[in-house]
Chain A
Amino acid sequence: MALELELTSPIDVAKNAVASVQDYVRLSAQSVGNFFRPPIYMGDMLQQADLIGFGSLPIVILTGLSVGALLALNSASTLQRFGGITLIGQLVSLGMVTELGPLITGLMVAGRNASGMASELGSMIVTEQIDAMRALGTDPSKKLITPRVGATAFMLFFLTIIADLLGLVGGWAVAHLLFGLDTNQYWTSAWQILVFRDVFTGLVKPVLFGFIISTVGCYYGMSTTGGTQGVGRSTTQAVVASSVLILIVDFFVTKLIFAVFGVR
């Protein structure tokens, strides 16, 4: 291909961006709407749940444990200076449940599954399998997208709970083994600090993140153009876009929940 500088007017760029957002919103709305319009592909949903949920388990366990341990380690030195090492359970618990648990699980699954969905659907687009499906009278949005959206939102919820728990275990290991904190004291303070708002925040986020990961992954997959190279491009873009979107949404959800429930 010749190297040429394409001059695109800013207006065209803006128009394209708006069109893309429109397409994305339509795809997302449809994926949810499909839950109320049969047929619902339960089998495909279970298969995806297995792929996303159990497939992501090792990485979620690993990151959960290490982030919890790191959180404890980092805050311990500061806490020790002020003589508040007993607060370590509360710190790890709050940090994991409201923020880090959902966030790292979301980012990990985004890296793993948004890319997977984009490349799978992208390959199906470039090999005309999506057209073939439509030609056989099956709606790809129902057969391919909705099961992925449902399964990701559902599984991320549980993956996050697992990450939260393992984060607490990691924190306990550091607090107990390195700083000699009493096990009972750690778990009691970790448990007691949590109020409804924290748990609520921590459980709403993964559902949202799961929705973002799957819809963004599917959107980039379905809008793939230009052969194998296009599939690679979609895959990368899906990971970047879903990660960024997760970070942005995380910020606003946290802010919104603070506004609704009041700052602690």
Chain B
Amino acid sequence: MSTPALPGEQQVAATAHSSGYAIEFDNVSIAFDEKVVLDGISFKLPCAETKALFGVAGSGKSVLLKLAMGLIRPDSGRIIMLGEEVTRMTERELFELRGRVGIVFQESALFDSLKVWENVAFRLMENKIAPDEIERRVRESLKFVELEQTYDMFPSELSGGMRRRVAIARAIVSHPEVLLYDSPTGGLDPVTSNTIVELIMKQRDVYKTSALMVTHRLQDAFTMASHEFDKKKNEMVAIPKGQRGEVPMSFLILKDGKVIFDGDAQQLAASRDEYIREYIS
């Protein structure tokens, strides 16, 4: 399977920050009505790396992504995104920072009163980009997720999987430096899931985008750790066993509001923790 080329194939180099990290969580806690959801979470996402986020339903994965985006605020702790301290910024300051980050919501969250192309173009229109330039980039972005034919449709006319892909097109159209995916393959068939995994891998390997990817399918994350995107062939290829350590892919597991694992595929496979063993088996 192959994916078409992205807008102009312009290389958006991951901006190196003084710290070298795209996202840092430092002792972050949040509770909803006395119910502690995240309890002292700390981790770092190095630039150009993709980190898969696991945890049972309700473990706070979606909350974590919204915290990173500054959509909700933690009760305590610090969150740093692209070198800026999200937790100390006002909503108005955040709007600018968010322009450099793309997010795919769990339920897609497309604007249902706008057509597919208007959804994808939303950010570009906000930035007052010329109409023909917008059309070009929207078409290319939709081509990237193989949904050009939906250009003039409304989100309500699409299937769940198509909506998810439109949401991905909307997130990547502005070439963000960081991408946050909330269960991009959730509830999709293996074929569509694979396409999406490949898209995410392409973002990682070709555009060097830093990303957090929430997922329920361990399978997807393992594929991402054992394959890389070949730009020439324009599809993902398996990496020989000996070289897998070099893939910028890591895993993080949440349980009862804490991080119980944060490391790469080898470390995960070698883990002796019973819960983790059960989780990955």
Contact = CB atoms under 8 A, between A and B. Distances in A.
A137 B126 contact: yes
Interface in A86-129: 127-129
Given A127-B112, A128-B107, A129-B109, A135 B69 contact: yes
Interface string B103-139: 1010101111000000000110010000000000000
Contacts of A132: 103, 105, 109-111
Contacts of A127: 107, 109, 112
Tell me which of A128, A137, A139 has the highest count of chain B C-beta atoms within 10 A of its own C-beta.
A137
7 contacts: A127-B107, A128-B107, A129-B109, A134-B94, A135-B105, A137-B95, A138-B126
A134 B105 contact: no
Contacts, number: 51
B98 interface: yes
Given A127-B112, A129-B112, A131-B66, A136 B98 contact: yes
Given A134-B98, A136-B126, A138-B122, A128 B92 contact: no
- The B interface is mostly helix, strand or loop, or mixed, namely helix
A41 to B, nearest CB: 10
Q: Which of B91, B109, B123 has the most CB of A within 10 A?
A: B109
A250 to B, nearest CB: 33
A135 B98 contact: yes
Nearest to B122: A136
Interface of B: 66, 69, 71, 91-92, 94-96, 98-99, 101, 103, 105, 107, 109-112, 122-123, 126, 170
A132 B112 CA distance: 12
Contacts of A129: 109-112
B96 A137 contact: yes
A134 B99 CA distance: 10
A74 B96 CA distance: 61
A133 B69 CA distance: 12
B182 to A, nearest CB: 10
B66 to A, nearest CB: 7
Interface of A: 39, 127-129, 131-139
A183 to B, nearest CB: 48
Contacts of A137: 95-96, 98-99, 123, 126
Contacts of A136: 98, 122-123, 126, 170
The 10 closest A-B pairs by CB, nearest first: A132-B109, A128-B109, A137-B99, A137-B98, A135-B103, A137-B95, A136-B123, A131-B71, A128-B105, A138-B126
B171 to A, nearest CB: 9
A138 B95 contact: yes
B105 A131 contact: yes
A129 B111 CA distance: 6
A129 B113 CA distance: 11
Nearest to B105: A128
A139 B92 CA distance: 8
A138 to B, nearest CB: 5
A139 B96 CA distance: 10
A47 B110 CA distance: 20
A122 B71 CA distance: 17
A135 B126 contact: no
Most B CB within 10 A of own CB, among A134, A136, A139: A136
Contacts of A135: 69, 71, 98, 101, 103, 105
Nearest to B101: A135
A138 B71 CA distance: 12
A137 B109 CA distance: 15
A135 to B, nearest CB: 5
A129 B109 CA distance: 5
Contacts of B110: 129, 132
Nearest to B99: A137
A139 B95 CA distance: 7
B164 to A, nearest CB: 13
Contacts of B122: 136, 138
A127 B167 CA distance: 14
